[in-house]
Chain A
């Protein structure tokens, strides 16, 4: 609305409510990612993960079934992700891995201009993950959880602490 930033200092201080996409493979990667939910307080959050019996209790989640036909499954995955991203239009996409992060990051960044944040798993102590290496060049923020893992990546990789 015209003039609003000048008449609404609280909103300017707080900012707009962002749409945040959490994407992670079910299991350890998802468990780790959910540890950081306090970072998104005040914003709208949705989740993308695998469709398994262990993820069906999640709310605000898109569950992606693995394709049966390996040749089709990448196409199907990209199509499903595009539908989700068109609907949700996230401002930020954040992931701890693993492979599902890759198409989500690339589609999100280049088609929807989302900022992308990657947190390397605490399981990676001295070596980079395959996912991390692929998304590192396009990540707007990139964290490792061990100081010993900083050397696996370039200058962009930040270490400020880890879960364990």
Chain B
């Protein structure tokens, strides 16, 4: 199953949704699209929104995840080690209010298990991508640890101050 997710944004991501819906009609494999907008899919199974606590399910079941370059979506795919194709939203197509997604995509596109596609006409040829991303939570753990250190030190200072 191929899972496509674009989260929720003020801007619709028609370019990706329509292309994946079209491609779904050419595949034997199931395509599920979470598209964030009201949309009548012709071929794919379509959902506007999936609640936060249910987002893991389609990712776990997917062979391949196709997503915009949103941090949450990228993280979810990487955490589950799913081959990931990123299609960044672009300001010029009114898909986002800036081009930060392009920056994110360029930053991580060399990594194992991650491919970036800028032109959706190239998507069809990428869909047998099967390399699994590496993922470790070292960065997250370090940042969590640094915050925790600050918070816990503050808590100890408060005791000394207040008795």
Is A68 an interface residue, CB under 8 A from the partner? no
Annotate A109-134 by CB proximity to B: 1 below 8 A, 0 otherwise. Answer: 00000010101011111110000000
Interface size on B, residues (CB 8 A): 44
Assuming the contacts A39-B144, A123-B100, asked whether A92 and B151 have C-beta atoms less than 8 A apart, the reply is yes
Contacts of A81 in B (CB 8 A): none
Assuming the contacts A27-B7, A54-B8, A164-B75, asked whether A15 and B152 have C-beta atoms less than 8 A apart, the reply is yes
Q: Which of these, B104, B150, B152, B156, contacts A141 with CB under 8 Å?
A: B150
- Let me know if A161 and B138 touch, CB within 8 A: yes
Distance (whole angstroms) from the CB of A110 to the closest CB of chain B: 18
Is B103 an interface residue, CB under 8 A from the partner? yes
Name which residue of chain B comes closest to A2, CB basis: B163
- Let me know if A161 and B154 touch, CB within 8 A: no
Annotate B63-81 by CB proximity to A: 1 below 8 A, 0 otherwise. Answer: 0000000111011001000
Is A163 an interface residue, CB under 8 A from the partner? yes
Distance (whole angstroms) from the CB of A122 to the closest CB of chain B: 5
Chain A stretch 12-39: residues in CB contact (< 8 A) with chain B = 12-18, 20, 27-28, 31-32, 35-36, 38-39
Name which residue of chain A comes closest to B149, CB basis: A39
Is A5 an interface residue, CB under 8 A from the partner? yes
- Let me know if B140 and A27 touch, CB within 8 A: no
Q: Pick 5 A–B contacts, CB within 8 A, sort by A.
A: A13-B156, A16-B158, A20-B151, A35-B144, A160-B146
Q: Which residues of B contact A (CB under 8 A)?
A: 7-9, 49, 51-53, 70-72, 74-75, 78, 100-101, 103-104, 106-108, 138-148, 150-160, 162-163
Q: Which residues of A contact B (CB under 8 A)?
A: 1-2, 4-5, 11-18, 20, 27-28, 31-32, 35-36, 38-43, 53-54, 57, 91-92, 94, 115, 117, 119, 121-127, 140-141, 143, 145-146, 148, 158, 160-164
